[in-house]
Amino acid sequence: MAVHLDDGDLVLNAISPGATPPAGARVTLSIRPERMSLLHDGSTALNVIAATVVQSVYVGDHIRLVAVTAGGLKFIVKL
């Protein structure tokens, strides 16, 4: 299923573990921070979110990044 975010043109492909909601329905999307990775500009992948890293914190066994899209969507990446 394709999920269109309030961010604008950003579309993510998602797998629904249960019944698929009807087209146009609002849904809650959960993205696991540890399943995200960073790509260089111009790189491609199935689901890509262009964002700016606004904070980087070393947390012992990993680095936690806070990133924000041009539309203001904030999310966490665990490296």
| CA proximity to 47, closest of 76, 16, 78, 12 | 12
Question: Mind listing the pLDDT tens digit for each residue in 3-22?
Answer: 777 766 666 777 767 777 88
Number of domains in the chain: 1
Range of the domain at 7: 2-78
Q: Specify the DSSP class assigned to residue 22.
A: P
Determine the Cα angle at 36 with ends 34 and 37, to 5°.
115
Sort residue 71 into left (φ over 0), alpha (ψ -120 to 50) or beta.
alpha
Question: Mind listing the pLDDT tens digit for each residue in 25-50?
Answer: 887 777 788 888 888 877 877 777 88
Long-range contacts of 16-19 (CB under 8 A, 24+ apart): none
The pair of three-digit structure tokens given for residue 34, joined into one six-digit string: 């540890």
Q: What is the pTM of this model?
A: 0.68
